[in-house]
Chain A
Amino acid sequence: MLIEVKNLKKIYKLGDIEVPALRGIELTVEKNEYISIMGPSGSGKSTLMNILGCLDVPTEGIYVLNDQDVSKMMDDQLAEIRNKQIGFVFQTFNLLPRADALHNVELPLIYSGIPRAMRRKMAQDALEKVGLGDRIHHKPNELSGGERQRVAIARALVNNPAIILADEPTGNLDSNTGEEIMEIFQQLNDAGNTLVLITHEEYIANHSHRIIRLLDGLVQSDDRTN
């Protein structure tokens, strides 16, 4: 089991009012699964994504990632987990605007202390995997939206993470480009990567093999697609 989530709760405090975002999520993810998490706004999918991505910790409950209980970790421990185990793909790409594609992809490796020469090689390989081998010295503003998202994907997979988390990865792209990105995800999954997608679009979710629907902070349904 790659991910095991038990009775996961997240309660935000706004002054004296407690706002529950997650009210007891149960979830397991196996290695090499390809999952979509869906739900309307306010269903708690962003909160779940933040916790699964170790950007945040739950108020209650247990989250075991790769045999490590990460639900009670401190800031720097979480940073280490994010660096080694998780690859993020964001809706808004979140690339460093002044760094070229290669440097953006290198970034996680810098923080894991990998020597420069090795780092460059790994980053270049990752960029080639997403079909940007000839664009490594372009800066984000010299790349199209699809290309930017591919740089972000290369960055997400360069550290060979346990899980790739993608938050509305096609949300800022036109549908053709979105399809291209979905193809890359398919290839990554075929190559053995575990993917978790957050989306509110059915046709995107249908690319995955399992759809988890959230409503009001609880799992409403958990179905395999065919």
Chain B
Amino acid sequence: MYTFSILVEYLFMAWTALKTHKLRSILTTLGIFLGVTTIITIFTTIQGINEYVLGELSNISSSSIYVQKWPWGFHDDWWKFRNRKEITYKEYEALTEFATIPDYISPLVFSFKTAKYRTVAYEQVPVIGTNEQYKDTDNVNPAVGRFLTELDVQRNHKVCVLGDDVAKNLFKDEVPLGKRVKLGTDKYRVIGVLEKRGKIFGQSMDNFVVVPIGTFRRVYGGHRGMRITLMIDDISKLDDMKEEARGILRRARKISPGDEDDFALNQQDQLTDMYKTLTGTLFAIVFVIGAISLIVGGIGIMNIMLVSVTERTREIGIRKAIGAKRRSILIQFIFESVAIASVGGILGIIFGFLGGSIVLSQMNLATGVSLTSILIGYGFSTFVGVVAGFYPAWKAARMNPIDSLHYE
């Protein structure tokens, strides 16, 4: 009869065996401990980073297509993309004229300029040339004043909208609205200041100035490559929008049928996918490293269990003589092996979390205790305990009671 009480008894036996050989048990479980610590540390770290990165990526609109020279992600044949023609104003015009699906289209060219207000200078400010729809495609909102209007863009007004950082740096406590700011060579009237957006990947999202695209091209030249953003409210039509844009762009760039696109249509998925591939690889590597140390740890446990079984041959004989079945002996030694491995596993979980938290706190990221990693850590160590303990326990279970009783 296998009752709960007998299982408690096995646990008690395992615990007694551990206590009797404290140092030996600890040394034995070191391999498991290091394996689990490694896995949990990296697991915790990656999870912390994941949460952060995926959170940040969600800032990039998933209902937009970005027309660019370079595709996002990692590519081997970078030279192919390097030799491409830039995306120019011509493509922007073609898209605005022929595309019917996008709800918003905005161009984007930029250049670093020194911004100046009276005596205050602020260097290396990205000046962005775009249109009034940039407000929607890039989700910027004026905190004071207004954003560019269609009229500003059509008439090439010399007006600008300041990012929060730029406004603070140039104007301190003054009101910027209506003031004239010099961007490089020319002066612009400030018509608005944007709401603060904070940082993404540690970089400020408020350090820029927006001016009408026509004005930008006239003042700073029209040869620069640009990025065009196409956005849609109904995300289910994203692919249609993409294909339509592809057709228009191929025609505008005179690509013969059968030739490859010489432009990229980027979307947020690519970044998420790229990130997932990256962390997937990392997970695989960690898994392999962890698995190796767990195997080594398991061999250590098996070794010690074999020694322990031999040392306790007489005990096994006594137990069998008074009625222990094979199964009882088997379970007893497997429990013991699992107990040794679990000690390493539990310590590994604790130290792994500490390790992960330290790494994440160095990166200023939040740490979370995840049930998954506890289960992974404990599951792995238990599994190793069972596997490593099985052969020695089976050997013990098969011992002949007469011979083992007379073992010296």
Residues of A participating in the B interface, judged by any CB pair closer than 8 Å = 50, 53, 55-56, 75-76, 79-80, 82-84, 88, 90, 94-96, 98, 107-108, 110-113, 115-116, 155, 159
CB distance from A123 to the nearest CB of B (A): 13
Q: A96-B318, A107-B319, A113-B3 are in contact. Are A79 and B402 (CB under 8 A)?
A: no
Question: In whole angstroms, what is the CA distance A98 to B311 when docked?
Answer: 14
Digitize B289-324: 1 where CB-to-A-CB distance is under 8 Å, 0 elsewhere: 000000000000000000000000011011111111
Q: Assess whether A88 is in contact with B322, with CB atoms less than 8 Å apart.
A: yes
Are the C-beta atoms of A113 and B6 separated by less than 8 Å? yes
> Which 6 A-B pairs rank lowest in CB-CB distance, beginning with the nearest?
A83-B323, A113-B1, A111-B323, A108-B322, A79-B325, A76-B325
Which residues on A sit within 8 Å (CB–CB) of B9? 110
Q: Are B3 and A82 in contact (CB under 8 A)?
A: no
Please tell me if the beta carbons of B20 and A108 are within 8 angstroms of each other in the complex.
Answer: no
Q: How far is the CA of A108 from the CA of B319 in the complex (A)?
A: 8
**Given pairs A96-B318, A111-B324, 18 additional interface contacts (CB within 8 A):** A56-B402, A75-B326, A76-B326, A79-B324, A80-B325, A82-B320, A82-B321, A83-B324, A88-B322, A94-B318, A108-B322, A110-B9, A111-B319, A113-B1, A113-B3, A116-B5, A116-B8, A159-B323
The residue that B321 contacts in the complex, of A76, A80, A88, A115, with Cβ under 8 A, is A88
Pair B322/A83 contact, Cβ less than 8 Å = yes
Q: Which residue of B lies closest to A115 (CB)?
A: B5
Question: Mind listing 7 A-B residue pairs with CB under 8 Å?
Answer: A55-B405, A83-B323, A96-B315, A110-B6, A111-B323, A111-B328, A115-B3
How would residues 1 to 43 of chain B score, 1 for a CB under 8 Å from any chain A CB and 0 otherwise? 1110110110000001000100000000000000000000000
Taking the closest CB of chain B, its distance from the CB of A99, in whole angstroms, is 8
- Chain A residues with CB under 8 Å of B314's CB are 94
List residues of chain B with CB within 8 A of the CB of A108: 322-323
List chain B residues, Cβ under 8 A from A76.
325-327
Query: DSSP majority for the B interface?
Result: helix
Q: Which residues of B contact A98 (CB under 8 A)?
A: 16, 20
B405 and A94 contact, CB distance less than 8 A: yes
**Known A94-B314, A96-B315, A116-B5: A111·B322 in contact at CB below 8 Å:** yes
Contacts of A112 on B, CB cut-off 8 Å?
1, 323
Flag whether B377 is at the interface (Cβ < 8 A): no
The residue of chain A having its C-beta at the shortest distance from the C-beta of B10 within the complex is A110
CB <8 Å contact, A107 and B5: no
Closest chain A residue, CB of each to CB of B320: A79
Verify B318–A79 contact, CB threshold 8 A.
no
Q: Would you call B385 an interface residue if the criterion is a C-beta within 8 Å of the partner chain's C-beta atoms?
A: no
> Which chain A residue has the least Cβ–Cβ distance from B328?
A111
Tell me the nearest residue of chain B to A167, going by C-beta.
Answer: B405
Q: Across the interface, name the chain B residue whose C-beta is closest to A46.
A: B402
Is there contact, CB below 8 Å, between B322 and A82?
yes
Bound Cα distance from A95 to B319, whole angstroms: 10
- From 175 to 225 in chain B, residues with beta carbon under 8 angstroms from any chain A beta carbon are none
- Is B401 an interface position by the 8 A CB rule? yes
What are the residues of chain A within 8 A of B318 when measuring CB–CB? 94-96, 107
Chain B residues 303-360 with CB under 8 Å of chain A are 314-315, 317-328
Interfacial chain B residues near A56, Cβ < 8 Å? 402
CB distance from A93 to the nearest CB of B (A): 10
Q: Let me know if A155 and B322 touch, CB within 8 A.
A: yes
